[in-house]
Structure 1
């Protein structure tokens, strides 16, 4: 009976020792830092990973995340310096660098997110209020982000936090304003397109008018050159005929008469002439022995048509 009692007592003592040792030690992981509290007050800080000791039942441990934390903020509407309304959507990345101050001011991550969100929203409104719409969305966005981060970080130091980054994921006009802007842009583009089409039509008319004028000038020059060439050809023909007449007047008279027959007697024309008319002297062998008479005025001497 005594042996059994000793075993039970030994087991109880061992359990008490294990319990005391269990409550007297704690482990800090790589992603954590810990505060050792005694009666609510901070006694020590453990920032390095490892095994630590504390007084059991008197001291307790508060673990704080040591990683970089993300904070997504809801959309808010702000007014720029040029009185344009914007909807901005920001996010931040931060970490706890002073666990004692962090515990004393915000107590936990949820409290830190709430306080930091208020700081960021207030800072974004104040910085955006001094910048134009163009600076925010295009020309100076990175500079504004640096200014916001510096101000947020300055205020976050009092909470034991260090802000690593603050960015605006979205900076757009409100929906109703966006529709009005898109409509205005569409109207402007349509007006520009109409102006371009009008300019193109005017330019086309100018080109066509210039081309028509050039065609008229070219045709006039061509007609003038053609007339000059025909005149030169007629002059050469007359010169050749004159030379031929001076060489053989009888053959020239015969040739001219044949041309007159061709031009006068073609096309079914009916003529009433005297058989001994001088016009038909080359068709009457008996008349060829008589003295030639002047050709009648009614039968003009035809000229060779150089246009054929």
Structure 2
């Protein structure tokens, strides 16, 4: 084979290798950092962008480092924590994180393995600091959510400058040794009973205030109703007297006669003066149906005739 033929083959192979080394593919789940002699030159498919696909680089001079673009999870092994009362707790947690700045990540951490190692160390420290100032019952019960938010914020501050974004930190479980569990349960029960007694006492006090206010309003309403009824009654009496005065002024004799009839009507019950047809019958039944005087009016001259007739039709009621 001629020398030029061999050289041509070598050149062709080198060209093919260079061409193959000039292109690379960025997956949608990845972000790429193009380096030239250790210095960053290009970024592709960073968080918030969509630049996946076929890309070009200078062969043999530039290299490509890829990192995961997705949210990553990190399980934190069991951490032994001593609460503020020196009781031991075993905490199991996990961290959700992602690579936010590939350049800072590359410069400070380099690899994902190193990032996970530092995250474990920082998370362990922040969990101990946050839970070491709390009582076990506070960690187990309602304050756990606030504690996890505190740990997340403190971990974000501690890991800042490394191109990592802490999405969430969650405590999956908190275990207590058997001898500690009962003591913690008793303290929690005592605390809840004390809170219940306080709430009950506040409720009783509030109920008394409401009852007192209701009684006061009732008294005021009754007084106003009585006052209004007296005013209405007084106005009615005044109107009645006015009508009587007007009637008396028109015919004094007729007015006196009408008043006597009203007095007689009040003195006798309904049917006090029996019918003449009924008086002809005799016997106990007829006597029971006869009219009886309930009250005999005294000194009513106009009623004498009515009284005499009533006495003839019945006997006085004893």
Among residues 56, 69, 79, which one is paired with 2:72 in the alignment?
A: 69
Among residues 10, 19, 22, which one is paired with 2:20 in the alignment?
A: 22
Which 4+ stretches in 1 moved above 6 angstroms? none
Aligned: 1:139 with 2:137: no
Report the Cα distance in structure 2 between the residues aligned to 1:174 and 1:67, rounded to whole angstroms. Answer: 38
Among residues 169, 175, 190, which one is paired with 2:172 in the alignment?
A: 169
The answer for the alignment partner of 2:33 in structure 1 is 35
Q: Displacement, 1:9?
A: 5.1
Query: RMSD over aligned Cα, in angstroms?
Result: 2.4
Among residues 42, 66, 87, which one is paired with 1:84 in the alignment?
A: 87
Report the Cα distance in structure 2 between the residues aligned to 1:154 and 1:175, rounded to whole angstroms. Answer: 36
Report the Cα distance in structure 1 between the residues aligned to 2:99 and 2:121, rounded to whole angstroms. Answer: 17
Residues 151-193 of structure 1: CA distance to partner in whole angstroms, max 9, x if unpaired? 1122223211111111111111135544x659x97xx9xxxxx
The answer for the alignment partner of 1:49 in structure 2 is 52
List runs of 5+ in structure 1 lacking aligned partners: 189-308
The answer for the alignment partner of 1:205 in structure 2 is none
The answer for the alignment partner of 2:287 in structure 1 is none
Q: Displacement, 1:81?
A: 2.2
CA contact (8 A) 2:87 2:180 kept: no
Report the Cα distance in structure 2 between the residues aligned to 1:100 and 1:13, rounded to whole angstroms. Answer: 36
Task: Return the index of the structure with the highest Cα Rg.
Answer: 1
Report the Cα distance in structure 1 between the residues aligned to 2:106 and 2:117, rounded to whole angstroms. Answer: 14
Aligned residues: 182
TM-score w.r.t. the length of structure 2 is: 0.53
Bigger mean CA deviation after superposition, 166-175 or 143-152: 166-175
Cα 1:173/1:45, change in 2 over 3 Å:
same
Cα 1:37/1:181, change in 2 over 3 Å:
same
